[in-house]
Structure 1
Amino acid sequence: MAELVGLAEGIATLVRDGDVVALEGFTHLIPVRAGQEIIRQGRRDLTLVRMTPDIIYDQLIGAGCASRLVFSWGGNPGVGSLHRFRDAVNNGWPAPLELDEHSHAGMANRYVAGASGLPFAVMRGYAGTDLFRHNANLATVTCPFTGEVLTAVPALRPDVTVIHAQRADRKGNVQMWGLTGVQKEAVLAADRSLVTVEEVVDTLDPRPDAVVLPGWVVTAVAVVPGGARPSYAQDYYDRDNDAYRAWDAISRDRDAFTAWLRTEVLDPVGS
């Protein structure tokens, strides 16, 4: 059964320097507050994994938490680039950032392989691209039945996966719905997992559209209302589009970013 913990305790216990850390969420249910707690606790040399890194990954990279990024698309959705990400890649500030780039399908297949206990996944993607010349984590494999040459991608097995969901019960069973991505697979592939939720309830309401993670596959659950803001949590709050637009100006300048990080994350008013 998953343990109910506070957010700071969960991050302190589960996320360690040098870990491979996945913070997954697809357009909503993005674990923003958990990512900021990782920054507050000063984690370093992390390999960050996510199918679609957006502004929380920009913050983690700009804060110096990451040395490597495994991803398939990165940007400030609906706005533009991730400027702290670009600064790390182009200028090594605040630290150099190694990249392991894949397609969405490649990332999803890697998570599925990890969740299935397999060493790699096989797919038809990447044919005709030059990624084979740039990424050592791509190979080809010949089907023993048809002779077809396919792409092989190694399994993703994070040390810890962090996701956000709408609710959990007191036994640690987690329920999420709406536009979900690879959260389930990312949790199942990981050695440890932390799920932040909007609320804990006595009984999960039956929902035919919901994804349920049983408490025995989750390490810990933390109640963090608003934990996905400025992304959204369906049926709880909407996406804060102004915050995404504002991030573009904040993140373009190192001094503006450093000031924002200090006042909003490291030493927020009222903390």
Structure 2
Amino acid sequence: MARFLPLSQAVSENLHDGDSVAFEGFTHLIPTAAAHEAIRQGFRDLTLIRMTPDVVYDQMIGMGMARKLVFSYAGNPGVGLLRRLRDAVENGFPNALEIEEHSHAAMANAYEAGAAGMPCAVFRGYRGAELARVNPNIRFIECPFTGEELAAVPALRPDVAFIHAQKADRRGNVLVEGIVGIQKEAVLAARRAVATVEEVVEDFDDQHPNLTILPHWTITAISVVPGGAHPSYAHGYYARDNAAYLEWDKVAADRDVFRDWMDRNVFQARVEDFEQRVEKLRVAG
């Protein structure tokens, strides 16, 4: 049963040093506020999992929180590479980072396998792919029915998943509108799940029944954080802050500039600041 908690409490009760954790969001609804709270609380030795790690994982890696990254495609969307990630991989700064790279298809199937309680995901893919040469967790098996060669990867079962969504109702059901990435599967695969939301409504009776809803029993904790996906967007609420992504490329290029930015914008910031950051990005209702 979902509990409504302040974000600091939701993070401290559900994330621990050494956990495997997924902060999932695809294009929009990236749980930035939750990631910033995790940074403020200073967790260490994390295995970060995400289908498309971008700026928030660059920040977490740059702060030395990660031991390993399991991912498919990493980059500052529309801008370029993740400079703190690259520094960790190439130079071991601020600490060495183990990486396990997959395709999008493999990550999606691995989350689905985790959600189904399966030990691995089996799918068509990776034939002739270079990733199979460097990732020992990519295996090949023979279909017992057709003899076809299929790819297999371990199921993803994060200790905890964090997502951002538009709405929760009073019972703790969570609704996602717009592009639906792999958030639902990540929540169902995880042992614990925390959702930050733009708002709480009485119920979803006036919503289309095919909208994605995570039942209250799939969510451990809910925190109301308007603007909590910034600088990504929340469909129907505010637009993407393109300038912030451009700025990040310059910030992350220098270690000292990066730490100064983190001090000012994360450690000295408040959860309530996210709502102000999206005020000029609000879309017409």
Q: What range describes the TM-score normalised by the shorter chain of this pair?
A: over 0.9
Query: What is the aligned partner in structure 1 of residue 283 from structure 2?
Result: none
Distance 1:53 1:207 in 2: 31
1:1-80 equivalences in 2 (<5 Å): 1-80=1-80
Q: CA deviation at 1:25?
A: 0.4
Q: CA deviation at 1:38?
A: 0.4
Query: What is the aligned partner in structure 1 of residue 258 from structure 2?
Result: 257
- With structure 2 as the length reference, what TM-score do the two structures score? 0.93
Query: What is the aligned partner in structure 2 of residue 190 from structure 1?
Result: 190
Query: What is the aligned partner in structure 2 of residue 211 from structure 1?
Result: 212
Q: CA deviation at 1:180?
A: 1.2
Query: What is the aligned partner in structure 2 of residue 233 from structure 1?
Result: 234
- With structure 1 as the length reference, what TM-score do the two structures score? 0.98
Q: CA deviation at 1:203?
A: 1.1
Q: CA deviation at 1:209?
A: 5.0
Q: CA deviation at 1:166?
A: 0.1
1:164-183 equivalences in 2 (<5 Å): 164-183=164-183
Matched to 2:223, the amino acid is A
Q: CA deviation at 1:130?
A: 2.3
Answer whether contact 1:21 1:159 (CA < 8 A) is retained. yes
Matched to 2:254, the amino acid is D
Query: What is the aligned partner in structure 2 of residue 246 from structure 1?
Result: 247
Matched to 2:244, the amino acid is A
Answer whether contact 1:25 1:181 (CA < 8 A) is retained. yes
Q: CA deviation at 1:268?
A: 2.9
Matched to 2:228, the amino acid is G
Name the SS of the counterpart of 1:247 in structure 2: helix
Q: CA deviation at 1:18?
A: 0.3
Matched to 1:91, the amino acid is N
Distance 1:134 1:244 in 2: 30
Task: Give the % identical residues.
Answer: 59
1:151-170 equivalences in 2 (<5 Å): 151-170=151-170
Deviation digits for residues 6-57 of structure 1, max 9, x if unmatched? 1000000000000000010000000001001000000000000000000001
Matched to 2:44, the amino acid is R
Q: CA deviation at 1:159?
A: 0.1
Deviation digits for residues 106-142 of structure 1, max 9, x if unmatched? 0000000000011111111100112222111111111
Gaps of 5+ in 2: 274-285
Name the SS of the counterpart of 1:227 in structure 2: coil
Name the SS of the counterpart of 1:225 in structure 2: coil
Answer whether contact 1:165 1:197 (CA < 8 A) is retained. yes
Name the SS of the counterpart of 1:228 in structure 2: coil
Distance 2:103 2:240 in 1: 25
Moved more, 151-160 or 123-132: 123-132
Name the SS of the counterpart of 1:26 in structure 2: coil
Matched to 1:23, the amino acid is F
Gaps of 5+ in 1: none
Going from structure 1 to structure 2, the CA distance change for 1:77 and 1:209 (only over 3 Å counts) comes to farther
Moved more, 37-46 or 135-144: 135-144
Confirm whether residue 103 of structure 1 aligns to residue 103 of structure 2: yes
Aligned length, in residue pairs: 271
Distance 2:269 2:10 in 1: 20
Query: What is the aligned partner in structure 2 of residue 133 from structure 1?
Result: 133
Distance 2:269 2:38 in 1: 15
Distance 1:208 1:125 in 2: 33
Query: What is the aligned partner in structure 2 of residue 266 from structure 1?
Result: 267
Name the SS of the counterpart of 1:252 in structure 2: coil
Confirm whether residue 93 of structure 1 aligns to residue 93 of structure 2: yes
Name the SS of the counterpart of 1:199 in structure 2: strand
